């Protein structure tokens, strides 16, 4: 059995899609959802699917072994970041080399880096009158949004699109591809 842990800070639509995708796969399971936000809706979604969850603080992540201990306890071999907004410490990356996968809501290397997350990305894309955006699924290394790209998908942006409309298009791509790409990486 391959066990996945999902780190998420927000709504958790990606996390829920991944949980549902692997619920019918007898070789892979989402064993744990971790969040740095005690009120994040992703925790409700995990509960609904009977997936265990763990809330931790930034200090827990950076100055203790709480998170790593949990990953070991649940025999996690793949870590997925699905809207997770803290930087993963180098110590964790070293324990999971090329085993941590992130999704970014734009076409990296554009619109990446610190502060570029969620709606901030879509606002910047619209402000710059881009005609395309999309998603990037990539391995996580020690630098924000700079790990090797696994997959990208593109959507068109109409000149009249609002940031919210771009977000909807990007979320459609996320729902279509993220879980499948994780599955292909595991295989």
Catalytic center residues? 104
Q: Does 147 bind ligand GAR (CB under 6 A)?
A: no
Interaction residues for ligand GAR, span 51-110 (CB under 6 A): 82-83, 103-105
Return d(Cα 134, Cα 166) in angstroms, integer. 9
CB 8 within 8 A of CB 14: yes
Of the candidate residues 32, 117, 137, 179, the single one contacting ligand GAR (CB under 6 A): 117
* CA-to-CA separations, 13 to 61, 116, 118, 119, 151, in angstroms, rounded: 23, 19, 13, 15, 19
| DSSP helix/strand/coil, 181 | helix
How many chain residues touch ligand GAR (CB under 6 A)? 16
Q: Does 163 bind ligand GAR (CB under 6 A)?
A: no
141 binds ligand GAR (CB under 6 A): no
Residues forming contacts to ligand GAR in the complex (CB under 6 A) are 8, 10-15, 82-83, 103-105, 117-118, 121, 174
């Amino acid at each position: 059995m391959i066990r996945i842990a999902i780190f998420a800070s927000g709504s958790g639509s990606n996390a829920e899609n991944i949980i549902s995708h692997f619920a019918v796969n007898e070789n892979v399971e989402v064993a744990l959802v971790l969040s740095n936000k005690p009120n994040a809706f992703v925790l409700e979604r995990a509960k609904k699917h009977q997936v265990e969850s763990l809330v931790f603080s930034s200090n827990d992540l950076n100055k203790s072994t709480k998170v790593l201990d949990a990953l070991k306890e649940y025999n996690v071999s793949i870590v997925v970041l699905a809207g997770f907004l803290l930087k993963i410490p180098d110590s964790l990356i070293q324990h999971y080399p090329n085993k941590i996968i992130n999704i970014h809501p734009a076409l990296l290397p554009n619109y990446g880096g610190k502060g570029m997350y969620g709606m901030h990305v879509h606002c910047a894309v619209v402000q710059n009158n881009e005609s395309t955006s999309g998603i990037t699924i990539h391995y996580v290394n020690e630098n924000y949004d700079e790990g090797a790209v696994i997959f990208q998908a593109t959507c068109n942006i109409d000149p009249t699109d609002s940031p919210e409309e771009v977000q909807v298009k990007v979320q459609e791509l996320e729902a279509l591809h993220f879980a499948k790409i994780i599955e292909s990486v595991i295989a």
